[in-house]
Amino acid sequence: MKIIPLQEGNYFVSNEKEFKLMDEFPQASGLKMAIQPFLIITQNDYILLDLGLRSDKNEVPLIQNLLKSHTILPEQITKVLVSHFHKDHIGGIGYFNEKDEFVQSFPNATIYMQSRELDFALEQKQSPSYDFDILNQFKLLPNIEMLDNDKGEITNEISYEVSAGHTPFHQVFWIKENEEITFYGADDLPQEAYLKLHVAYKTDYDGKCAMESRKKWEQEATQAHWKILLYHDMKKPVLEF
């Protein structure tokens, strides 16, 4: 199994959920975080874990250029696993061309997402956490696989579970190959610091649930020697136990 962090950059995030690159706007303020989807290459699949931010303009999403920098073409991606629908996790799904037509980034991939999470996201009309231009495209894509259960297997290598901490139907994923186990906790475990401070964050839909999940995952990771992928950590994208 090969793990490639697709590091889009480090950002300041305002209360209005505006993302500004720290390198370009050093005087900005807000919560500091990285944005880094992950590519997992197994013997059977090229798997993307979340999709990064949308470009400010109608341009090819940054995640495509990051893949190409690793000599991976968008057409090679076989699976996309979506944790939830906040805009910093789904923007790379595609873009609108000069004719205002939506161009999908990964047409050969099957996109796995939690149907109840999408329904919830589409109801959040007043929330700046969502990009509805992009969000509304998801139900129109022909290569979507809706997940309806609280847990299950996508393949023998890939399993998922609804963790329901950061958002009501937020989901996490395990990818197993040979003796390796890689875990992606998305925004229920976005940074290493979340394991050092056992805190129920008020920014989560159910902070206590997320906190208790992290305790359980840390114990399991220690016992089974997981690799944990950290979507928002600015220093350590992969944590090895």
* CATH number of the domain to which 58 belongs: 3.60.15.10
133 neighbors 100 (Cβ within 8 angstroms): no
Tell me the residue range of the domain where 232 lies: 2-240
**Cα–Cα distance, 152 to 147 (Å, whole number):** 9
Residue 17 burial by Cβ neighbours in a 10 Å radius (0-12, 13-18, 19+): middle
How much is the pTM? 0.96
**Cα–Cα distance, 144 to 135 (Å, whole number):** 13
* pLDDT value, residue 202: 87
pLDDT grade for 59, boundaries at 50, 70 and 90: confident
Q: How far is CA 189 from the centre of its chain?
A: 11
Q: Are strands 171-177 and 238-240 parallel, antiparallel or unpaired?
A: unpaired
Residue 99 reports pLDDT greater than 80:
yes
Residue 52 reports pLDDT greater than 80:
yes
* pLDDT value, residue 89: 98
* pLDDT value, residue 139: 86
What is the average pLDDT value for the chain, to the nearest integer? 95
> b/e per residue, 109-144, with b = 16+ CB within 10 A?
bebbbbebbbebbeeeeeeebbbeebbebbeeeeeb
Lowest mean pLDDT among 31-45, 56-70, 105-119, 163-177: 56-70
User: How many domains does the chain contain in total?
Assistant: 1
The helix/strand/coil state of 117 is: helix
The residue with tokens 């976005």 is 190
**Cα–Cα distance, 105 to 92 (Å, whole number):** 7
Tell me what the mean pLDDT of segment 103-127 comes to.
Answer: 96
Question: What DSSP line would sit under 10-63, residue for residue?
Answer: EEEE-TT--EEETTT-TT--SEEEEE--EEEE-SS-EEEE---PPPSSSS--HH
Tell me what the mean pLDDT of segment 149-166 comes to.
Answer: 97
Q: Which amino acid is residue 76, in one-letter code?
A: Q
Q: Are strands 79-81 and 238-240 parallel, antiparallel or unpaired?
A: unpaired
* pLDDT value, residue 56: 64
* pLDDT value, residue 140: 92
What does the pLDDT look like over 179-226, one tens digit per residue? 999 999 999 999 999 998 888 988 899 999 999 999 999 999 999 999
Tell me what the mean pLDDT of segment 167-180 comes to.
Answer: 97
Tell me the chain's radius of gyration from C-alpha atoms. 17
To which H or E segment does residue 206 belong? none
Q: Are strands 2-5 and 158-162 parallel, antiparallel or unpaired?
A: unpaired
95 neighbors 53 (Cβ within 8 angstroms): no
* pLDDT value, residue 182: 98
Q: Hey, what are 20's tokens? A: 């500004």
